[in-house]
Amino acid sequence: MRHETAPIEPRVSSQSFGLATLVKSGICAAVGLTVLLQFFLVEHFNLNSAETQARLQLLQLSWQMRDSLNRVIARTIGEVRLMSELDQVRQARRPEDVRPVLKSLQNSFPDYAWIGIAGPDGKVFAATDGLLEQVDVSMRPWFSQGMKGLHTSDYHPAVLLGNLLKSSSPEPLRFVDVAGPIKDENGIVRGVLTVHLSWDWARRRARNLLVPALREYGAELLVVRDDGVVVLGPEPMLEKKLATESLSRAQRGETGSTRETWPDGKVYLTGYTQTGLDGESPALRWSVLVRQPEEVAMAGPHALGRWMLVASVLLGIALAAIGALLVRRYLTGPILMLSGAIETAVQDGAGVRGKEIPLVDGFHEAQVLSHALRDLVQREDEQRRALEAMNEQLESTVAERTAELRKLLMHDGLTGLPNRRALMQALPEAMRRADRLGKPCAVIFLDMDGFKTVNDTYGHEEGDELLRQFGARIAQAVRKTDMVARLAGDEFVAILELLADRADAEEKAHRLLPVLREPYVLKTATVVVGASIGVAVHQPGNARDLDALLSRADHAMYAAKRAGKNRLVVDSA
C-alpha cells in the first residue's frame, strides 16, 4: 500500500509559503509605489508653484522700479518743457529776475541738484544758488543738444559741479540731465534751460523697494544703461559692463522672468523690464533687472520636499506592516487551515475526500484577496482625493496671488482708485465708445491746490488722508459709469462719457469745484484746499490720440493754475 503523506506534505507547505510571500511582496510593492507616486506628484506641483510665485514677485518688483523711473523722468521733462515756455524765463534780462523761479522749481523736488539757464553763447546766465553763473558750458552735451530741442543726458558723473554741491549720501555724485531750448515769440532760440537730476532719488527708491525683499527673499535690483553699464545695483557691479540673457531681452523691449546663470556662475531667477515713455523722443531706456538666487528662492520648497520624503518613507513602512498583518490574518491562516485539514485526513489513512476539505480552496482565498484589493483601492482613492484636494488648494492659492498682483498692478495703493496703468487701458475704450455711440467723452485733469502746504504743516500721514478724501469726493461727485484714477502725487484724472456736448463736459466739471473746496476733516486739523482743473473733450470722429488728449487736459490744467488756481479751463481744440 502506497503512502502519499510524504509527497503531499512538502508540496502543500511549499505552495502555502510561496503564496504568502508573493502576496506580502505585492502589498509592499503597491504601498511603496503609491507613496512614491504621491511624493513625486506633490513635489512636482510644489516646486512649480514656488518657482512661479517667486518669478511673479521679482517681475512685480521690476515693474515698480520701472514705473518709478518713468514717473520721475516724465515729471522732469514736463517741468523743463513748461518752465522754458514761461514769460518770466523767456523775457529775463537779469539773473536775479529768474533765479527765484528756478529755486522754486528746485524746492518742489529736492533731487533737482542744479537748475540753470545758459545763453546762446554757452555761458550760464542764471542758476540756483548762483552756482556756475558766467561759466562756459558750451562744450557740455546738454547744452549743444538742448539748443536743438528737448534732450535727456543719461547717467554720468559730476564734472563742473563735483566740488560745488554737497551730497547727503556716501555714494558719488551722479546726474541725469534734462535740457530744452528757450525760444522767444518768434521761435528763435535764446538759450537752454537744464535740470541736473541727482541719481540719489533712484538709489533711495531701490532701497525702499527692496528692504522687505532683501530681508525675506534675498533679492537684488539692477538698473542697466542702454550700453550695458550697471548704473544701480550691488557695489561690485556698479559702472561695469553686464551681459546676460535677461538684459538682452529687456533691451529688446520684452518684459518677463527667466532662470539663468549669471557671470558669477550662480543660477538666478530674474525678472526684467525696460523703462521709456511711449511717444517721448527724449526718453531714457534703462533695463531694470531684479534677481534672486535660485537656491534661496527654492530653499523653502526643497525643505518641504525633504520633509515629505521622510514622511512618505515612514508612511510606507507603516502601511507595509499593516499589509503584512492583514495577509497573515486573512490569507495565510485559511491556507494553513486547509493544509492542516489535508494533513489530518492523510495521516488518518482515510484519503482525501472532497467533503473533508473546508470550502476554502479558491473561494475563501478569492474572498480574502478581494477584501485586500478593496482595501488597497480604497486607500489609493483616499490618497488620490487628498492629492487632488492639495492640488486644488495649490491652484487656488496661485489664482489668489495672481489676482492680488493684478489688483496691485491696476489700482493705487493709497486711495484704492485705479492707477495710471488702468487709466491708459480704459481711456482708449472710452474713445471708441464715443465714436460708436456718437457722444463725446472728456478727460478731466485735476491737481490739488495747497497739498504741499498741508503735507509740510501736518505731516505725511495727514497728507495721505487728504489724498484719500480728495479722491473719494471726486469719485462720489461723478457718475458711477465714469472713471476716476490717481496718476501720481496730488494729480487725479476723471473720464466722463455719454456727454451731450462740450458745454455738458464743462458744466459737469464745474460741479467739482465747490465740492472739492469744502473743508476736509483730518485727524489733527480741518483744512481747505482747492483744485485746478483742465478739461479736454474727444469728439466722435476725431483721431484717437491718447497721448494728445491727455496732454491737452494737462495743459488746460496748468493754464488754470497760471490763471490763479481753483478754477477750470477747457481746452479749445
Give, for 14, the enclosing helix (H) or strand (E): helix 5-84
Instruction: Report the half-sphere exposure of 340 (CA within 13 A, side-chain side).
Output: 6
Alpha-carbon distances of 400 from 350, 403, 405, rounded to whole Å:
77, 5, 9
Distance CA 528, CA 520 (A): 6
Helix (H, G, I), strand (E, B) or coil at 540: coil
- Asked about 490 being catalytic, the answer comes back as yes
- In this structure, what is the dihedral angle of CA atoms 447, 453, 457, 459, given to the nearest 10 degrees? 30
Contact at 8 Å (CB) between 286 and 223?
yes
Give percent helix, percent strand, percent coil of the chain, each to the nearest 5: 55, 20, 25
Residue found by looking up cell 482525501 in the block: 352
Q: Give me the phi and psi of 261, to 5 degrees please.
A: -100, 125
Contact at 8 Å (CB) between 310 and 100?
no
Distance CA 437, CA 206 (A): 46
Q: Looking at 459-534, list the stretches that DSSP marks H as alpha helix, in order from N- to C-terminal side.
A: 460-477, 502-510, 512-517
Contact at 8 Å (CB) between 391 and 443?
no
Contact at 8 Å (CB) between 289 and 206?
no
Contact at 8 Å (CB) between 111 and 128?
no
Q: Strand locations in 354-490, DSSP E?
A: 441-449, 483-488
Contact at 8 Å (CB) between 146 and 124?
no
What angle separates helix 5-84 from helix 299-327, to the nearest 10 degrees? 160
Any residues with CB less than 8 A from the CB of 554 and at least 6 apart, and which? 78, 445, 534
Choose the catalytic residue: 490, 547, 554, 571. 490
The 8-class DSSP code of residue 325 comes to H
The residue type of 364 is H
Helix (H, G, I), strand (E, B) or coil at 493: strand
List the grid coordinates of 487. Answer: 496718476
How many C-beta atoms surround the C-beta of residue 64 within 10 A? 19
Q: b/e string for 111-144 if b means 16 or more Cβ within 10 A? A: bbbbbbbbebebbbbbbbeebbbeeebeebebbe
Active site (catalytic) residues: 490
